[in-house]
Chain A
């Protein structure tokens, strides 16, 4: 009832009315906000500072508690229960959630297909950060102070602007495979550019996205393509921040070429490299879209983030899904700790 009512109101509203109500909403929001701050600023002295601090930080803490901490606690609890529903009390008494201890975590190793997911994820987390950082760094060094630097940078940075799903769709065309054969036994027409070139060279077409292990590598390439631009942008800025005098002093000291990179450039941008590596590693652990858009993880190419979604919402094993979510969280922690320690060392 209510939903249909809202729908009809929205439908009958003109664009102008919508704009007015939007503007009105914003004004009311701003007024409330300003009001709270004004009231807070009315308190003077030490108490005043506290009231102001609460007025500013309070809403954030409230939202974090409601939207992050509370669900996190529920998820952790969920990981120790069986059952098909997120709410542990739903379902018939038989299908209701029961405390099962570490069973869901054991399933990570015992369920067929899941060890493979762990292996795939390890491959992703090792390859994506290392290769995209290396490529980004190489590219940043090559185009530094070269002609047309801005254009060259934009070319590499553009993939960052494409959503992961969009990027996957693009690459699905690149990887496209046609397994049919012509009457004379030659492979059928290939619309995927790699297979098109490969078959022209006389090779048999390769099912990039269908062959286990190869498909994982193929999907890893997509994320590298996206992340290399990020690495390049950050590292290029870091390289430009190295004082000219240091480079000149190094030239006077007889350094050039690779030695310049090894002894001067790389140590100078060390902290940026660490930030890029860890940021990409964390992003990779959470990457779900590429696998989901490519195959849904059905072709032995799944990763933890995708498996978390599948187990939670598709196969209705929310306990196992929660266990996977916790594993992802636990894996991210050491990366963040490493990052913080390294950055503190530099400061």
Chain B
């Protein structure tokens, strides 16, 4: 068990000008489950590999407990990794795969056997111990990869998108298994995923990266309720938050024809326009034509609720996704009262649950 500390850790790949991971600072508590999340190419896997020792650190330091592991070889770091494709040794049985690290470390044979059997029991692999990996299903292979990490009882678990090769149902199942296993073993874990749902459901804390730069590191709840910038706001949550550029008026902002009060201090930091963020479940559909006019294009019925997808009737109004693209306006409505396709509805955020961001910098106001 140990803490992990990224201290200005930087990785620049040879031949690149911009760092793939730029001055990463994260303090991970002992026993914490930290999820590194972000779009592809954001540097999350590179960060994990730096911690594993598979990637050189070009600047800053990495600490495990009170040991500076920045220039240590992987085997001396006492960390175990679960790879995306599991990376099981195809020529070894499940038992040999799981016990291989101990065998290399020169652990006594009977000791290896008992630790492998113990891990196999936890992961429900006992009957497969003598099989080769190719005779296992995807889910079983995934568990062997987990077992290989558990058997070593390392100070830190590293997991690089371990669920991405499983089908949707198994992924949800395994997600909860891994999370509860980690809580039971109490081993500090760093988990990489591109899936924000995995991040929200599994992590004690989430670290969201973009272009090698840490955007926000906080609990799932705080990430959801108080995103620090437009990117975080757009990335966390499904369906994603609506981000609408609206004009600033005295004492607030104008959302369609609906005036929303905004803190004066916050407005002082803004220009003529701001980006207002509102999650689909916080959208209020009004009956008195109060708010932004939205033309309904699609209704997704989910039973209890329905999601309404539309575009602003006024084409000059911009809807952003956190990373610069255009996307529809989404509102969650009661499943028993859904608007028709082509209908115009009027929406505005509920006053307690709206997010205001600077138009130029994207920073939360």
Residues of A within 8 A of B (CB): 243, 245-246, 248-256, 259, 263-264, 267-268, 270
Contact = CB atoms under 8 A, between A and B. Distances in A.
Contacts of A248: 52, 54, 81, 83, 87
B105 to A, nearest CB: 6
Contacts of A252: 52-54, 74-75, 79-81, 101
Given A252-B52, A252-B74, A253-B75, A243 B100 contact: no
B85 interface: yes
Nearest to A254: B75
B105 A243 contact: no
20 contacts: A245-B87, A246-B90, A248-B52, A248-B87, A249-B87, A249-B89, A249-B148, A250-B89, A252-B52, A252-B79, A252-B81, A253-B75, A253-B100, A253-B148, A253-B152, A254-B74, A254-B75, A254-B104, A255-B75, A256-B75
A246 B89 contact: yes
List 6 tightest A-B contacts by C-beta distance, closest first.
Answer: A254-B75, A245-B87, A253-B101, A249-B87, A267-B91, A254-B104
B198 to A, nearest CB: 20
A255 B74 CA distance: 10
Given A243-B87, A248-B81, A254-B104, 4 more contacts: A249-B88, A249-B89, A252-B54, A253-B75
Contacts of B73: 251, 256
Nearest to A251: B74
Contact of B105 (A249, A254, A263): A254
Contacts of B83: 245, 248-249
B189 to A, nearest CB: 15
Contacts of A268: 90-91
B27 to A, nearest CB: 23
Contacts of A256: 73, 75
Contacts of B105: 254
Contacts of B148: 249, 253
Contacts of B88: 249
Q: Which one of A251, A252, A259 has the highest number of Cβ atoms from chain B below 10 Å of its Cβ?
A: A252
B100 A263 contact: yes
Contact of A254 (B54, B89, B101): B101
B85 A243 contact: yes
Nearest to A242: B90
Contact of B75 (A251, A263, A264): A251
Contacts of B84: 245
B80 A259 contact: no
B80 to A, nearest CB: 7
A141 B77 CA distance: 27
A150 to B, nearest CB: 20
A249 B83 CA distance: 8
Interface string B318-334: 00000000000000000
Interface in B66-83: 73-75, 79-81, 83
A264 to B, nearest CB: 7
A125 B151 CA distance: 46
B138 to A, nearest CB: 15
A262 B79 CA distance: 23
